[in-house]
Chain A
Amino acid sequence: MNDTLVFILSGTLAATVPLLYAALGELVAEKTGMLNLGVEGMMAVGAASGFVTVALTGSHALGFAAGAGAAMLVSTLFAVVTLFFYANQVATGLAIGVFGLWLSAAIGKAYEGTTVNALAKLDLGFLSDLPFFGPALFQQDIMVYGSLVVAAALWWMLARTKVGLVIRAVGESPVAAHALGYRVRLIRFAAVAFGGAMAGIGGAYLSTAYTALWADGMVAGRGWIAVALVVFGSWILPRVAAGAYLFGAISLLELSIQGFGFNVPSQLLSASPYIITIVVLALISRNPALIHLNSPMSLGQPWKPSH
C-alpha cells in the first residue's frame, strides 16, 4: 500500500510534466488570443526531434533544445498563416496538428522502437533519502522541478508584470492594444512561438525522460489533453496546473486500482482521468461570469491592422 502511494505520488509528478509544459505554453498563446489546436502535432515533433538529438549526441540538454526549436518552427508556421494570411485559427491549428504527426513520423522513422538513456534523476541529498517522502517526491529529474518553477514564473509574469499586462491586453482587445502602440502581431507571433517551444519540451520529455524511447504515435493524445486543460481551467494558470496534476494522478490511480483487483470495468477506469478532470474543472469554473472574465475576448479571432 505504501509502495503504491509512493508510485502514485512520484509517478504523478513525472506523468504531469509533458502535460504541464504543453498546457502552460498553450495558455500563454491563448492569452494573446491565439487558439493553436496543433499542440498534439507540435509535441510529437518535439518528441521525435528531441529523441533523435539525444540518440545522436547523448546530450539531454541538446535534446530539449532541439525539441523546443523544432516544435517552435512548426508553431511559427501556424503564426504566419493565421497572422499574416488571416487564415481561420481552428482549421489551421488542426492542419498543423496533422502535419506535426506526419513530420514526427518522418523525423523518427529510422529510430522506431529504439531507446536512449533516460534523463538522470537528481540526488537531493538528505531529501532524497527521507523515508516515504524521498522516493515519493525527491527522486525526480530536473525537468519535474523545472516545470514547477516555470509554472510559478509564468503565473508571476502574467499576473504581476507589464509584459503580462500587454499579453492580456492583446488578447482582450487587439484593437485597443494596437491603438496604444503595441505591435499586436509581433506579440501574438512570439506567444505562439513560445507555446510551440513549450509543447516541444513536453514532447521531448516524453521521449527522452519519461519513457526514453521513440515510437510513432507515442504522444497518444496528450496534446489534446493540454488544450482541454487550458479551457477547463478557464485560462487561470493555477487551475490549469491543478488540472494537469489531477489528470496525471487519476491516470496512475486507475492502473493501481486495476492491480488491486477491484471489480470495476477497466474501460470505465481508463476513461476516468478524462471524465473526472473535466467534471472537477467544470465544477470549479461553473460561474459563467468568471469564465467570461477570464476567457480572452479575441480568442480565435483574426485581427487585421487597420492602417
Chain B
Amino acid sequence: MRVTNPLVRLTTAAAIALSASLASTAVYAEKLKIGYIYPSPVGDVGWAKKLDEGREAIEAAFGDQVESVVVENVPEGPDAARVMNQMASSGAGMIMIGSFGYMNDGLKLAKAKPDMTFIHASGYKTAPNFGNFQTRNYESAYVAGMAAGQVTESNTLGVVAAYAIPEVIGIINTFTMGAQRTNPDINVKVVWLNSWFNPAKAQESARSLAAQSADVVFSLYQDTPSVVTVAEEDGFYVINTSSDMKKYAPTKLLASLTIDWGPHFVKQVQATLDGNFEGTAYWGGMADGAVSVSSLSDDLSAEQKAELQGVMDAIASGNFHPYDGPVTAQDGSEKVAAGATLDDGSLLGIDWLVQGVETQLPN
C-alpha cells in the first residue's frame, strides 16, 4: 500500500486505524508489519527510491513473513508524527524512518512503544529499540572529487547542496580534498538551496555555478535529475548522489555516488524477528558495499580510472581515510594533524569547511 498526498493520507490513516481495531482480535503477530515513511515521493531515482529498494530487499528476503505499509512525501513535523503514530497503532512492529527531521518524533514513539523497533535514516540519536543508519558518502565523494579535479579545465567546481547539516558539510569537504589531490589549484563554490526539494531552483543553481565558470557541478542530495539533465543540455560535467543517473546525462555524467541499504535493512529485520534487535548506529561505507561509485565517465583515461580505483581499494581496506591529516579548515586552522584521522564522533557533528571551499557556511 502506498499513499501519496495529504487528503488520501488522512483517510488512509483512518482506514488503517479502523482495520487495525477490527483485525487485532483476529490475527496478531506472526507476520511482521513494517512501516516505511519517506520525505519525498518514490520516483525513478533519488533518496526515497533508494530507501524503497531497501524495502524491496526486505520483501525479497522475508517474503510472507513481512507486510509493508509505505507512506511517502510526508513533511517533517506534525504530519510525520501522526503518520508514525498511526503505523504504530495499526500494529506495525517495526518502522523505517526515512528522514533526518523525523528523528525526535520517531524517538518519542520508540520510548512509548518499547516492543517495536525503529531504524532511522541519517540521525544521531539512538535508544535500545531505535537504531540509525547512514552511509559514508564522504568516501565516494572523495573519489568523485578526484575525478572532478582530473577533468576540470577552469579549476572551479560547483556544489548544489540542500542544507548545511553535518552530513552535507562532511561530503563537501572530502569532495574538495579529493579534487585537491588530483589538482592542487581547485576552488569549490557552493550554492545552498535551503530546501530539500525544489527541482527548478536546483537547476537554476547549477546554471548559476556554470556561469561562474564551474565546469563540474556536484548535485548533492537532489532527489530529481534536474541538475543532471541541465548539465547534459548546457555541457558541463555533473556528479550526483543516491541513484545512478547515467541515462539522464549519457555524455556529461562524471560519476554517480550510489548507496545500497538492502543488506543492513535485512539484518535489522532479522534481528527484530529474532528478538535481539539493538539500537545501534550503523555507518556503512565502501568496506561493506553500502557505498560505491558507479558510471565513471569514459572521458577519464585508463590511468585516471586506475588512480581512482586505487583509492577506492585503499578506503575499502582501511588503509586510507579521506579525513587523514593534515586537514586545514577554511579559516586556516589545523583541524586534523598530520598522522591523525578525524574520529567518527567529530565527523558526525562536523561544522567547518576545508580550505579550498570558497563559500562560507550559512550561519
- In A210-233, the 8 Å CB interface with B consists of 210-213, 215-218, 220
Q: Given A215-B223, A259-B189, does the pair A267, B4 have CB atoms closer than 8 Å?
A: no
User: Known contacts being A102-B7, A115-B229, A256-B211, is A206 close to B44, with CB within 8 Å?
Assistant: no
A267 and B361 CA atoms in complex are apart in Å by 11
Are A115's CB and B209's CB within 8 A? Answer: no
Residue of A at shortest CB range from B203?
A: A211
Is the Cβ of B198 less than 8 Å from the Cβ of A112?
no
A114 to B205, CA, bound (A): 20
* Alpha-carbon distance A102/B10, docked complex (angstroms): 12
Contact check: which of A3, A105, A215, A217 meets B211 at CB < 8 Å? A3
Which residues of chain A come closer than 8 Å to B42, judged between CB atoms?
Answer: 112
Q: How far is the CB of A105 from chain B (nearest CB, A)?
A: 5
- With most chain B CB atoms within 10 A of its CB, the pick from A102, A216, A259 is A259
- Chain A residues whose C-beta falls within 8 Å of the C-beta of B199 in the assembled complex: 211, 213, 215, 218, 220
Q: Chain A residue with minimal CB distance to B49?
A: A113
Q: What is the CA–CA distance of A212 and B229 in the complex, to the nearest angstrom?
A: 9
Residue in B49, B212, B233 whose Cβ sees the most chain A Cβ within 10 Å? B212
Q: Is the CB of A113 within 8 A of B225?
A: yes
B298: interface (CB < 8 Å):
no
Say yes or no: is A263 at the interface (Cβ < 8 Å to chain B): yes
Contacting residues of chain B (161-214) with chain A, CB-CB under 8 angstroms: 164, 189-195, 197-201, 203-205, 207-214
Kindly report which residue of chain B lies nearest to residue A260, judged by CB atoms.
Answer: B212
- Residue count of chain A within 8 Å CB distance of chain B: 41
Residues of chain A lying within 8 A (CB to CB) of residue B44: 112-114
Specify which of A213, A217, A256, A267 is in contact with B229 (CB 8 Å cutoff).
A213
Contacts of B164 in A (CB 8 A): 266
Q: A33 to chain B: which residues have CB within 8 Å?
A: none
Question: Which residues of A lie under 8 Å from residue B211 when comparing CB positions?
Answer: 3-4, 6-7, 256
> Do B6 and A102 touch (CB < 8 A)?
yes
A261 touches B362 (CB 8 A): no
Question: Could you list some 17 contacts between A and B, CB below 8 A?
Answer: A3-B213, A4-B211, A102-B7, A105-B73, A106-B4, A112-B42, A112-B43, A113-B46, A113-B224, A211-B199, A215-B199, A216-B40, A220-B201, A252-B208, A259-B158, A259-B209, A270-B195
Q: Which residues of A contact B (CB under 8 A)?
A: 3-4, 6-7, 11, 15, 98-99, 101-102, 105-106, 109, 112-115, 118, 206, 210-213, 215-218, 220, 251-252, 255-256, 258-261, 263, 265-267, 270
Known: A213-B199, A215-B41, A215-B223. 5 other contacts (CB 8 A): A101-B6, A102-B6, A115-B229, A220-B197, A260-B189
